[in-house]
Amino acid sequence: MECYTAIFALMNTMPQQIMPLLLELEQCLKQTNSWQNTLPSNELLASTQPFCIDTLSLPQWLQFIFIPKMRELIELGAPLPQKVEISPYAEEAVKQLAFDAKPLLDVIKTIDESFK
């Protein structure tokens, strides 16, 4: 019974840890002027590649795919992914960005670590 209680407690605290990180991620994107007011086309969003690497930039993927999906899961009380590993991709993708991405990478790493 204690095992189930521990798992249930972990499931309940995970969304409480992730939601503020999603807000921080959004703030980082806005502070670097990477937040967009226009939704990419359905064609661009429909990529089947990991991180929509062939159609979206890292900031676009975070804004239009990752953040909304994570918020949706949390709001619905649905199970969250057991593991998230965005950092390896993000570390490569930020090389193409024209701003200091360290704060963005720091938040992404914290999100990754929250799922370990």
**Residue 49 pLDDT class (50, 70, 90 cuts):** very high
Say which range, 3-12, 23-32, 42-51, 57-66, has the weakest mean pLDDT: 3-12
Read off the pTM.
0.85
Instruction: Reduce the secondary structure of the chain to three states and give it as a string.
Output: CHHHHHHHHHHHHHHHHHHHHHHHHHHHHHHCCCCCCCCCCHHHHCCCCHHHCCCCCHHHHHHHHHHHHHHHHHHHCCCCCCCCCCHHHHHHHHHHCCCCCHHHHHHHHHHHHHCC
How many structural domains comprise the chain? 1
Task: Write down the mean pLDDT value for the chain.
Answer: 88
Domain that holds residue 21: 2-114
CATH code at position 48 = 1.20.1440.40
